[in-house]
Structure 1
């Protein structure tokens, strides 16, 4: 019987996400957490700025005449995705694994597959995520922090891709 949480082992043991990287991710997430809804929306707006056609992947946007910045469904979705991404990043070293509820991970894989998400989409999303975090943390942003978030994002995407079948 499967547990309520599916755990995916990431190769490389202790060296794959360093204590310093974990600290940078945690410190920046703690700064962003209280305004996660705002940062989540900015994250999605950056995605749509880079790839406007991505809006067509969301039924609640295709069916709406409300401005993106005012769209309640987009705001809720954006916050949920941003929080999940950041929380998964924070847990990465502590657990030694990507940990997301099994049903969520399977759903993420299925939805991404259904809408034809490909590697390029994940790259746009990564760029938008890093730019959003850079904006959110201001002077705290460093090349080391960028690398830490990039590593965490890579592991999350790898976990999602395992369910895109």
Structure 2
């Protein structure tokens, strides 16, 4: 069936809801990640020296970047049917940080819970599915970038 126009719309509109409270949703996103995987704290330079997750410009910037990448993946899926990164800085950073498959699962869960919170009354299974598909395709592309990076390193 492909990534439909409606799915792209759902991702875009909920992205806007996320951005309306970027500080709060960024804290929520990383709180969920660290509840599920406390050891992941060391993977984020802006969290290493924080006793607890709290708002900071770095935290907001990184959360916004993650959600923007998923939004961009949705747009790319709708336009081309796939998400292509190739070997990029994203791949290099994931290699450097030691990101493995279980990390992607934790981030996906945190992302979906955060979008559910940000969407409020607009949340639906269809919206959840749109974000899930876009995230899964982005994760596949990042994993390919990591493999390419390992070849070129």
TM-score tier by shorter-chain length is 0.7 to 0.9
CA contact (8 A) 1:17 1:93 kept: yes
CA contact (8 A) 2:26 2:55 kept: no
CA RMSD in angstroms, aligned pairs only: 2.3
What residue ranges of structure 1 are gaps of 5+ in the alignment?
A: 1-14
How far apart are residue 80 of structure 1 and its match? 2.5
Matches within 5 A, 1:46-65: 46-62=32-48, 64-65=49-50
> TM-score when scaled to structure 1?
0.75
How far apart are residue 67 of structure 1 and its match? 4.1
- Count of aligned positions: 147
What residue ranges of structure 2 are gaps of 5+ in the alignment?
A: 148-153
Partner of 1:141: 123
Partner of 2:68: 83
Q: Which moved more, 1:45-54 or 1:75-84?
A: 75-84
| Distance in 1 separating the partners of 2:84 and 2:16 | 19
Which stretches of structure 1, 4 residues or longer, exceed 6 Å deviation after superposition?
none
Cα deviation per residue 1:123-163 (whole Å; 9 max; x = unaligned)?
11000000000001012111111111110001111111111
Structure 2 residue 115 is the aligned partner of structure 1 residue 130: no
